[in-house]
């Protein structure tokens, strides 16, 4: 298969492309959700021995969900810079140690989104957290000890991956 044409058909908060794909003798028309590149991190406060997650309303499931801190990469920003920024904006922490877990395509059948998932160790807060007012974020910080975290019925894929990564190392 080969993409022979790409047209931006929606250019709002998110982007949608229409692709013409050559598959042998056939040309297929497909839509591609193109939100950009993102970062996410499971944050562990080493001083207090708690995991710090977020709870916020998400458009996809149309509900508040428990998930790890996450956000979009701005322009040519490095993923490590973006994840440190997001942790500070959402949770108020400065990062002591950062380890990349994996870079994933969460839904490759329809989306070009790429998310780099990290594990972050923190020990001190320098900000309020809760997200940015100008981005209309309303983020609740949720602190959980390990036993409570693994008992949560997690449904967010990046969060499940990060928690399983820690579980394999414990």
Q: Are 65 and 109 in contact (CB under 8 A)?
A: no
pLDDT digits (tens, 9 = 90+) for 42-86: 999 999 999 999 999 999 999 999 999 999 999 999 999 999 999
pLDDT digits (tens, 9 = 90+) for 95-117: 999 999 999 999 999 999 999 99
Q: Does domain 36-169 have CATH number 3.90.79.10?
A: yes
pLDDT value of residue 85: 97
Structure tokens at 75: 């322009």
Q: Are 38 and 14 in contact (CB under 8 A)?
A: no
Classified as helix, coil or strand, 16 is strand
- The domain limits of the chain are 2-32, 36-169
Q: Are 43 and 68 in contact (CB under 8 A)?
A: yes
pTM for this entry: 0.92
């Amino acid at each position: 298969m080969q993409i022979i044409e790409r047209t931006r058909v929606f250019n709002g908060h998110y982007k949608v492309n229409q692709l013409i794909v050559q598959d042998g003798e056939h040309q297929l028309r497909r839509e591609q959700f193109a939100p950009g590149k993102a970062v996410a991190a499971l944050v562990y406060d080493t001083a207090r021995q708690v995991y710090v997650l977020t709870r916020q309303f998400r458009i996809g499931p149309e509900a508040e969900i428990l998930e790890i801190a996450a956000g979009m990469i701005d322009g040519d920003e490095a993923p490590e810079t973006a994840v440190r920024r997001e942790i500070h904006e959402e949770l108020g922490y400065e990062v002591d140690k950062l380890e990349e877990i994996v870079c994933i395509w969460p839904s490759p059948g329809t989306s070009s989104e790429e998310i780099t998932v990290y594990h972050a160790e923190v020990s001190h807060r320098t900000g309020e957290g809760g997200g940015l007012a100008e981005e209309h974020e309303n983020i609740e910080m949720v602190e959980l000890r390990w036993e409570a975290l693994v008992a949560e019925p997690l449904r967010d894929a990046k969060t499940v991956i990060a928690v399983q990564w820690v579980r394999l190392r414990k």
